[in-house]
Amino acid sequence: MDAVAEVQLEERTLTASFYEIYQEKAYDLLGDVRKPLRIRGGEQVYLKELTEATVTSFAEFEKLRQRAWTKRATASTALNRQSSRSHAIVRLIYQRSVNEKMGAVTRSFAITSQIHFVDLAGSERVVQSGRPHMEETIAINVSLLALHRVISSAVEG
């Protein structure tokens, strides 16, 4: 007869981070100070000092999202009164930590899942966006082109 593991402790956490890519730099949308985040990593890339907020309800998440969205880079252009000038990213990390006992042996482990939701800035023609926003428009279009190449490459294998 196989022994059955008894779960002694199970903890679940959900953390949310909000950041934007504006003119090829990453900015924390929950941070108190607007400064570019440093990109770090080897096998796994991450943003150093990115704010992570623990979320326990949808209302809490929505409050964070609204706070973050007020900090997004936006501007009035020839095409839109309020145009997002950045790509916004919402990162959710779900972690399940378990302690289980099977006979005299206790083992601990964690399972972590991560998902990113991205709101891309729209592609615009430099001529239509207006001269004051030319640099932003070029940065948006360059990053969209890079994303297109990555997706095309992944599809082609």
CATH code (residue 81)? 3.40.850.10
Q: Which domain holds residue 80?
A: 6-123+130-156
pTM of the model: 0.76
- Give the Cα-Cα-Cα angle 100, 104, 105 (nearest 5 degrees): 45
Number of domains the chain contains: 1
Contacts of 18 (CB under 8 A, 6+ apart): 28, 29, 30, 51, 64, 65, 68, 88, 89, 90, 91
- Domain-located, residue 90: yes
DSSP-assigned letter for residue 36: B
- Domain-located, residue 27: yes
Question: Is residue 44 predicted with pLDDT exceeding 90?
Answer: no
- Domain-located, residue 97: yes
- Domain-located, residue 53: yes
- Domain-located, residue 1: no
- Domain-located, residue 30: yes
Token reading at 135: 């640099």
Q: What percent of the chain has pLDDT over 90?
A: 38
Stretch 23-33: mean pLDDT: 92
- Confidence band for 125, pLDDT divided at 50, 70 and 90: low
Interatomic CA distance for residues 21 and 62, integer angstroms: 21
Q: What is the pLDDT of residues 60-81, one digit of tens each?
A: 999 999 999 999 887 666 666 7
